Amino acid sequence: MRSGMRDRPLIHVTEHIHPVAASILERNAQVTYGVDGWSADTEALIVRNRRVSEADIHATPALRVIGKHGAGTDTIDCAAAERAGVTVVATPGENAPSVAQHAIAMAFSLIRNLSGHTTALREGAPLSGQDRIGKEIDELSAGILGMGAIGREVSRILSIFNTSRAAYDPYLPHDRWPTGVRRASSLDEILASSDLLFVHMPLTADTRHLLGESAFRKLPQGAYLVNCSRGGIVDEVALADALASGRMAGAASDVFETEPPPRDHMLFRQPNFIATPHLAASTNLGLERVGRSVVQKVLRALGADADRANRPKEEE
C-alpha cells in the first residue's frame, strides 16, 4: 500500500498545462513543476509527452496517481503502475475537436498543395499547368481508421462538405456507429476505397507498422494519408518510398516514431509531405479542456473535492 497522505496532496507537473488548469491545481494541492526532479514524496504526476517508466514509479514510493494530459497512455508503463498500485487516468475525447480540425486542415493543405505553391512562389517560379490544379474534398472518398472521439469528429466535419465517408473500427459497437458512414468490414476494404485516409487509432503491438508497403499498395493510385494519431502506426520508410515513387500523391503527419524527428528524416526529402511537431491538440480551448479534465481526475483519484476543483475561481 502506497502512503503519502497530507492535507494538500503533492502533485508534480512535468510539462506546461493551461494556466486555468494550473490555477485550479495550485488552489487544491502543493504543486511542483519540471520535466524531471520530482520529490519521492510526490503523490501524483501529471504528464504530457514525458515517458513514465517502471524506474520512475519505483523511485516515487508515495505515488498514487499518474494523470495523462491527453488520450494515449502508451508513454506510461501502465503494467508497472498497476503492479505498484498506482492509478492511471487520461482524458480521451477532450482533445477531439482540436485534433480533428488539425487533421482536416492538413488534408486541405495536401489536396490544394499549399506547401508546394508557397515554395514555388518563394523561389519566383509559380507552378504551372496541371501542377496548379488541386482537388475539392468532396470529390474524394475519405476513409477513417479508428472511430473513437477524434475519428467521429473528423467524420462530422467531413459531412459538412458532403464528402463520402467510410471507416474501419472493429471495436466500436454498432449502436454507436455514426449515421452516414459506411462501415468497412476489414482493413483491406477501407484501404481499397480511400482516396484520403485519416489515421486515428492507438499504437499497440497489433497496430505498429500497420500501414506499410503492403497497405500502401492497396490504396487507390494517388491517394493521400493524414496521420494525427501515433508515430509507429505508419512505416515511415515505406511511406517515403510510396511518395517518392508517385504511388501516393501526398501525406501529412503530426507524429513520428522518434520525436522530435531528425532534421535529415527521409520524409522531409519528399516535397509532397507536410508535418507538424505533435501539436494537433495544442489549441487554447483544447488545452484548457484537457487541463481541466486531467486536474479533476487526478484530484478525484486522490480524494480531493473534484467538483470544487473544476470550478473557476470566481465561482467559488
Backbone angles phi, psi at 250, to 5 degrees: 180, 160
As to burial, measured by CB atoms within 10 angstroms (0-12 exposed, 13-18 middle, 19+ buried), residue 278 is buried
183 as an active site residue: the answer is no
Return d(Cα 69, Cα 109) in angstroms, integer. Answer: 28
Query: Can you count the helices (H) and strands (E) in the chain?
Result: 11, 12
230 as an active site residue: the answer is yes
Q: Say if CB 304 and CB 126 are below 8 A apart.
A: no
Angle between helices 96-111 and 284-301 (to 10 degrees): 150
Return d(Cα 189, Cα 33) in angstroms, integer. Answer: 47
Q: Say if CB 69 and CB 45 are below 8 A apart.
A: no
| The one catalytic residue among 230, 236, 289, 292 | 230
Among candidate residues 107, 109, 98, 95, the one with its CA nearest the CA of residue 197? 107
DSSP 198: E
Return d(Cα 181, Cα 304) in angstroms, integer. Answer: 42
Among candidate residues 107, 109, 69, 62, the one with its CA nearest the CA of residue 86? 62
Return d(Cα 1, Cα 3) in angstroms, integer. Answer: 6
Q: What share of the chain is helix, strand, coil (3-state, %, to 5)?
A: 40, 15, 45
278 as an active site residue: the answer is yes
* Cell of residue 146, nine digits: 479508428
| The one catalytic residue among 12, 102, 200, 278 | 278
CA dihedral 309, 279, 220, 218 (to 10 degrees): -80
| The one catalytic residue among 51, 139, 259, 311 | 259
Return d(Cα 232, Cα 226) in angstroms, integer. Answer: 14
Supply the residues annotated as catalytic: 230, 259, 278
